[in-house]
Amino acid sequence: SQTIHQWPATLVQPVGSPLSLECTVEGTSNPNLYWYRQAAGRGLQLLFYSVGIGQISSEVPQNLSASRPQDRQFILSSKKLLLSDSGFYLCAWNQGLSSGANVLTFGAGSRLTVL
């Protein structure tokens, strides 16, 4: 069966510090991978998605970047965090339209607080 792991679960970082959130998927190959952010009162915002190694699409211009160094690994990074980067970050995966539907499986989330 497939599983998705996301870490760290919680993170408190000062403004201006770097960020690295990691997500890995097990039990599947060539998944589509996604990073969403959930800020208070703002719902889920799609940040990045990737359909293959090294292929990253950005939905919103921001202080963050994403990378996919391996097939089942997706990393969210920032060189210098802003207060506005605080939020709940969710990694997700699916197999895309080839499987008939784009149902997402989410990780448990990473709570980032920037002080």
Partner 1 sequence: SQQGEEDPQALSIQEGENATMNCSYKTSINNLQWYRQNSGRGLVHLILIRSNEREKHSGRLRVTLDTSKKSSSLLITASRAADTASYFCGSGAGSYQLTFGKGTKLSVIP
C-alpha distance from residue 72 to each of 60, 77, 98 (Å): 23, 17, 18
- Counting contacts by CB under 8 A, is residue 84 touching partner 1? no
- Counting contacts by CB under 8 A, is residue 74 touching partner 1? no
- Counting contacts by CB under 8 A, is residue 15 touching partner 1? no
Per residue, what are the HEC states of 25-72? EECCCCCEEEEEEECCCCCEEEEEEEEECCEEEECCCCCCEEEEEECC
Count the Cβ atoms, other than its own, within 10 Å of residue 15: 12
- Counting contacts by CB under 8 A, is residue 61 touching partner 1? no
Identified binder of partner 1 from the candidate list 106, 112, 113, 115, rule CB under 8 A: 106
Question: Which three-class secondary structure state does DSSP give residue 79?
Answer: coil
DSSP single-letter state for residue 16: T
Q: Which range binds partner 1 by CB under 8 A, 11-19, 68-76, 77-85, 86-94? A: 86-94
Nearest to 63 by CA among 81, 38, 39: 81
Q: Which is nearer to partner 1, 65 or 111 (CB)?
A: 111
- Counting contacts by CB under 8 A, is residue 53 touching partner 1? no
- Counting contacts by CB under 8 A, is residue 86 touching partner 1? no
Residue ranges that bind partner 1, judged by CB under 8 A: 6, 32, 34, 36, 41-46, 49, 51, 59, 88, 90, 92, 94, 96-97, 101-109, 111
